[in-house]
Amino acid sequence: MERGVHHDLESFILVLFYAAMKRGLESRAWDTHPEVHRIRKLYCTVFGGHTIDEIVTGRTRLVNRRPDFLLDALDKPVSQLLYSCRSLLERQYVKVNRQDFDHTPAELELSRQRVITYGELYQVYDLAIRKFSKA
């Protein structure tokens, strides 16, 4: 597979998740949070892989099941930023069985995998900056 710009944008999103989780866990800010054990497990799953299979499994873990317990532990602006970034990853990772649809153009368009673009990531960041400014 040829490496494209969308891979770099995906990596940047993963670095944001890494930084937010690492900061929350190392600062011990979440020690009293009821979901701290799930957050630690997610962190190890997503960022602790040593083989290609473990890395792929970790990355898709953020997408296959929305990590609400992590998003709830973060302050609102960061939570919204990561939620929006996760949505971009989800769309990029989508794998759809075309037999599940009636094959109408609208349904096929909704199910189509689309790579992350600079413009979309800028929109997410601009929204987050506006929210940070208000907070």
23-72 pLDDT per residue, tens: 999 998 899 999 999 999 999 999 999 999 999 888 888 888 899 999 99
Of 4, 17, 2, 32, the residue nearest 85 (C-alpha): 17
Percent of the chain residues topping a pLDDT of 90: 53
All structural domains of the chain with their residue ranges: 5-134
pLDDT > 50? residue 108: no
Average pLDDT of the residues in 103-132 = 77
Question: Which pTM was predicted?
Answer: 0.80
Q: Which residue in the block uniquely carries the two structure tokens 């900056």?
A: 129
19, amino acid identity? A
